[in-house]
Amino acid sequence: MSQSQIGAQMYTLREHTKTPADIAKTCRRVKQMGYDAIQISAFGKIETPELAKILKNEGLICAATHVSLDMMKDVETCLAYHQAIGCKYTAVGGYFPWNQDPQAGEQAWRNYAKDFSAIAKPLAAKGLRAGYHNHSHELVQYDGRQAMGILIEATDPSIWFEIDTYWIAQGGGDPAAWIERVKGRIPCVHVKDMQVDRNRVQKMAEVGAGNLNWPRIIKACKAAGVEWYLVERDDGDLDPFDSLKISLDNLHAMGIK
């Protein structure tokens, strides 16, 4: 099993990555706070050679990316981009069937699994693995079968699953159990915690600052073959840079280096 590492999911810092100059400055701050890797997401327009130069200059590894299905369909362009930045994992940010059809049901998920597999297989054949990032709506049930389970069963085995600990818990699931379910298909995991306020409203929190069972989650990650713990916080009470630093320190305290 590869040694696990920690990366910063740059969606957390999306307000600070709108221009090439912003991206360079933000990557420098991320490196200085102790991260050696990032997941590229929500960057403003930047030429690939310039991005590759920034990563090299700052000593950052690109653990993974989030890109659109349209980009994945352009196999050569997608491959060239990821080769230039030294990245072998990419993922889509989710499937939202009700945006197109409010009545979409189980078959929509099965169709998506088939279509996504057809897009992912040519990439995998050339060394770039495509994955799926969940939110909570994938835990919707159809006669007792959850959409997430349908995706896992119906997609090509080359497709990996970027389990997001917060969103699984927000949907009423057990993050560790879902991580275990995709053993061997989860090179990257999204780690963020969950708190609840006095009005019983759930909110995102820094790893170790909420109520998720991190010893259980980390044990599942190690058994499932996770290579990268990608720290993300979509929104929350703290400055996003401070948030990333707290999560990093807490993961180190938990034994993840």
CA 24 from chain centre, in angstroms, equals: 21
- Of all residues in the chain, the percent with pLDDT exceeding 90 is 98
Task: Write the Ramachandran bin of 34: left for phi over 0, alpha for psi from -120 to 50, otherwise beta.
Answer: left
Average pLDDT of the chain to the nearest whole number? 97
**Domain range spanning residue 193?**
5-253
**Domain containing residue 242: CATH number:** 3.20.20.150
- 41 pLDDT higher than 90: yes
Residue 3 has a pLDDT of: 52
Backbone angles phi, psi at 10, to 5 degrees: -75, -5
168-183: pLDDT as tens digits: 999 999 999 999 999 9
- Which residues 6+ apart lie within 8 Å of 128 measured at CB? 78, 79, 82, 87, 88, 89, 90
- 147 pLDDT higher than 90: yes
CA–CA dist 230, 166 (Å, integer):
12
The residue-averaged pLDDT of 220-246 equals 97
The residue-averaged pLDDT of 122-133 equals 98
Calculate the alpha carbon distances from 33 to 57, 120, 121 in Å.
16, 34, 37
Sign of CA dihedral 62, 171, 13, 214: negative
CA–CA dist 72, 86 (Å, integer):
16
58-108: pLDDT as tens digits: 999 999 999 999 999 999 999 999 999 999 999 999 999 999 999 999 999
Residue 46 has a pLDDT of: 98
Residues composing the chain: 257
In 3D, which of 173, 188, 183 has the Cα closest to residue 130?
A: 188
The number of distinct structural domains making up the chain is: 1
The residue-averaged pLDDT of 9-24 equals 98
* pTM: predicted TM-score of the whole model, two decimal places: 0.96
206-222: pLDDT as tens digits: 999 999 999 999 999 99
Given a contact cutoff of 8 angstroms between Cβ atoms, the answer to whether 189 and 229 are in contact is: yes
- Of all residues in the chain, the percent with pLDDT exceeding 70 is 98
CA–CA dist 115, 182 (Å, integer):
20
The residue-averaged pLDDT of 41-52 equals 98
Residue 1 has a pLDDT of: 38
Residue 4 has a pLDDT of: 60
